[in-house]
Amino acid sequence: MKKLQVGLMGVVCAAWFATSSGADIVTFNSPGQWTTERSDNLVLKAQLDTAKIPKKQISVSLYKIEAGKKKLVATKPFKVTDYSQEFNLGTVGTNLLGGKDYLKIEWSIMGAKDKGSLFPVGIVNLDKLPPVAAVHASKVQAPLDAGSAASFAASAKFVSVKDCDIALFWSSSALSVLVKKGQSKNTLKLAFDGKNGKNAFISYPDRVVELNMTKDSLSTVLYERVALSDSVNFPVKDWKSEVKKTAANGMTIITIPWYDIGLVAQDGRVLGFGAFVTDEKSAPVAAYPASAKLLLPGSWSSIVLDK
């Protein structure tokens, strides 16, 4: 078991710096691993050891990995003229790429065996993505409970995700999620990004609350991230939290303390938010917004804390 762990860490570290027999020859200053580009025009900034590039030329290839398939976007030769250079690989052709889909950059030295790669890189071009309506959380004096839920539900604006209706309320101590759930055996997943960074890859600070409607149980998780060979993975980890659920007249109240999300609530504050329904095999069924992906926060909506 220990040997397996050591081997895995070695592969991860190799992917972080550059999967290369000569990783010190080409070092990318930009982009970096797990970064989110805000444009679909990819420009590389690199430091080069010119003494180890005999023909003063390198070849750079850009690949797009989607649904596990690797597609060549562009291959360009570049003349090396300085120890620090920029290389324009052109337009990628997408404004949103992340989660388990990503870009991979591979380079090789002409006239030598040295080569390397950098991945994953994502794209969330906020200027060119269609606008997504934010979900508004109504301000209340105290978190909702079984006694107050019905009165607030009567005037609440619910967001529908498949067989679930969701309304949000906030107080200085917690975010309250009021859920009207159907009779399905699905799982509702509520994802929160306190940074509201609109990134291409879910990260360790992002939090997910899962309501299993078959078992009527609540769990809280977070994700690690691993880059291995030509794939990325997001292992699920328990999020030790004080999130709780309460039954109320056929509805469920999920109470999330602000300290568990990692922020201080105030009027007008915005945080990233996505709602997802998955089936018994964890396959996606529906989402809010409709095109959102759980592992791609840049595709989520936002919560606005109303005054």
Q: Is the pLDDT assigned to residue 302 strictly greater than 50?
A: yes
* Residue-wise pLDDT tens digits, 115-127: 999 999 999 999 9
Q: Is the pLDDT assigned to residue 296 strictly greater than 70?
A: yes
Share of the chain above pLDDT 90, in %: 84
Share of the chain above pLDDT 70, in %: 93
Reported pTM: 0.89
Report the pLDDT value the prediction gives residue 11, as an integer from 0 to 100: 38
- Tokens 């991230």, residue located: 225
Report the pLDDT value the prediction gives residue 23, as an integer from 0 to 100: 58
Question: Is the CATH number of domain 2-124 2.60.40.2840?
Answer: yes
Give one word for 56, left, alpha or beta, with left for phi > 0 and alpha for psi -120 to 50.
left
* Residue-wise pLDDT tens digits, 203-219: 999 999 999 988 999 99
Neighbours of 10 (CB within 10 A): 10
Domain chopping of the chain, boundaries: 2-124, 135-305
pLDDT band at 73; cut points 50, 70, 90: very high
Report the pLDDT value the prediction gives residue 303, as an integer from 0 to 100: 98
> What are the tokens at 231?
């794939």
Report the pLDDT value the prediction gives residue 198, as an integer from 0 to 100: 97
Alpha-helical regions (H) of 18-172: 149-155
Q: In CATH, what is the architecture of 135-305? A: Sandwich (2.60)
* Residue-wise pLDDT tens digits, 2-61: 333 433 333 333 343 444 445 579 999 999 999 999 999 999 999 999 999 999 999 999
Q: Are 50 and 80 in contact (CB under 8 A)?
A: yes
* Residue-wise pLDDT tens digits, 216-274: 999 999 999 999 877 899 999 999 999 999 999 889 999 999 999 999 999 999 999 99
In the predicted model, what is the mean pLDDT of the chain?
91
Of 1 and 78, which is predicted with more confidence?
78
pLDDT band at 111; cut points 50, 70, 90: confident
Please report the sign of the dihedral spanned by the C-alpha atoms of residue 244, residue 248, residue 252, residue 258.
negative
pLDDT band at 87; cut points 50, 70, 90: very high
Mean pLDDT of 128-137: 95
Residues 6+ apart with CB under 8 A from 158: 165, 166, 167, 180
> Is the fold of 2-124 the same as that of 135-305?
yes
Q: What are the angstrom distances between the C-alpha of 265 and each of 140, 165, 200, 214, 298?
A: 12, 24, 25, 32, 22
